[in-house]
């Protein structure tokens, strides 16, 4: 990793951990497969990691998406301008304009599309009804190794509410991306890349005990993944160099070393997803843009 990368100061970036068994990475290319659910006004694809489910939706005017018994807080990302929704929760209606990220409390909620566009939804895998709809559901028939059980972070002390944050946040020297967190997720909307990423300036790194979801929203990416060698040759895995256009989700298992390279000549936009939130990012002053709304664990 380049010393100019803000992540270089994190203690977690060292040689890959001491795990002895490893899971494969997951690659869900939504552009190649039928939608998980499809109606006249809404197409929706689902794929998952161990702790999270990601949905990608394309909604027309009048599209409606309902969660009747949502067990915990979930995320709605509206990446584009001129997209408008209303969110009904606990008898209140919140108007949301893109580009924005929204945290919706547990319970019953309804999303109504007023102006059409793309949506990215994120849920924990505690919502079993959604896990069953994932294109890669069979990959998680058994829990993957090296990932502790999911544990939510504290609820906001101000109480449950639909919380909306604009994505229009300028880059800042020394801050890594644009990061928001809630009780269940941390989402990093990385700076958009114009043209292919310089192959001499990649950022290979690893995580000891959590998965990373990398959602390709625009353009295309090659995900380079390498697993550690152990004393057991049978546990070794070949490197991945997986090309994924958009929309697609890559799920990187711990403690695989990984980096992603934008490939298109135009816009390449990647979103990193973690569930529960990352402690190391949260401990960096100024990195989490809504830190005052969601406390860290004691």
At residue 3, the pLDDT reads: 59
pLDDT, one tens digit per residue, over 125-168 is 999 999 999 999 999 999 999 999 999 999 999 999 999 999 99
Domain ranges across the chain: 6-282
The predicted model gives 53-70 an average pLDDT of 96
pLDDT, one tens digit per residue, over 255-296 is 999 999 999 999 999 999 999 999 999 999 999 999 999 999
The SS3 call for residue 82 is coil
Kindly state which CATH superfamily the domain 6-282 is placed in. Answer: Jelly Rolls (2.60.120.10)
Burial of 222 (0-12, 13-18, 19+ CB in 10 A): middle
The predicted model gives 175-190 an average pLDDT of 98
Strand partners, 197: none
At residue 40, the pLDDT reads: 83
The SS3 call for residue 279 is helix
At residue 2, the pLDDT reads: 61
Query: Using CA atoms in the order 213, 84, 195, 272, what is the torsion angle rounded to 10 degrees?
Result: -10
Which residue carries 């803000």 as its tokens?
A: 6
User: Which residue stretches of 132-257 are H helix?
Assistant: none
Residue 244 backbone phi and psi in degrees, to 5: -130, 120
């Amino acid at each position: 990793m380049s010393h100019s990368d803000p992540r270089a100061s994190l203690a977690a970036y060292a040689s890959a951990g001491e795990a002895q068994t490893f899971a494969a990475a997951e690659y869900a290319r939504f552009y190649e497969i039928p939608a998980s659910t499809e109606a006249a006004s809404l197409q929706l694809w689902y794929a998952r990691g161990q702790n999270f489910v990601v949905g990608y939706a394309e909604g027309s005017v009048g599209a409606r998406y309902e969660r009747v018994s949502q067990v915990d807080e979930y995320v709605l990302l509206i990446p584009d301008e001129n997209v408008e929704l209303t969110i009904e929760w606990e008898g209140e209606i919140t108007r949301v304009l893109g580009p924005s990220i929204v945290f919706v409390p547990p319970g019953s909620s309804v999303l109504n599309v007023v102006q059409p566009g793309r949506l990215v939804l994120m849920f924990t895998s505690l919502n079993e009804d959604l896990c069953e709809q994932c294109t890669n559901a069979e990959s998680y028939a058994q829990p993957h190794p090296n990932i502790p059980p999911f544990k939510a972070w504290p609820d906001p002390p101000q109480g449950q509410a639909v919380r909306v944050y604009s994505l229009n946040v300028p880059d800042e020297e020394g801050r890594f991306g644009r990061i928001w967190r809630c009780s269940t997720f941390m989402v990093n909307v990385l700076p958009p890349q114009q043209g292919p990423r310089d192959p001499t300036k990649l950022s290979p790194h690893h995580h000891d005990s959590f998965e990373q979801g990398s959602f390709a929203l625009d353009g295309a990416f090659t995900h380079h993944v390498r697993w550690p060698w152990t004393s057991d040759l049978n546990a070794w895995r070949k490197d991945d160099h997986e090309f994924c256009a958009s929309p697609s989700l890559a799920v990187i298992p711990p403690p695989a070393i990984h980096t992603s390279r934008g490939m298109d000549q135009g816009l390449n936009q990647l979103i990193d997803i973690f569930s529960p939130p990352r402690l190391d990012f949260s401990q960096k002053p100024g990195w989490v843009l809504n830190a005052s709304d969601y406390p860290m664990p004691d």
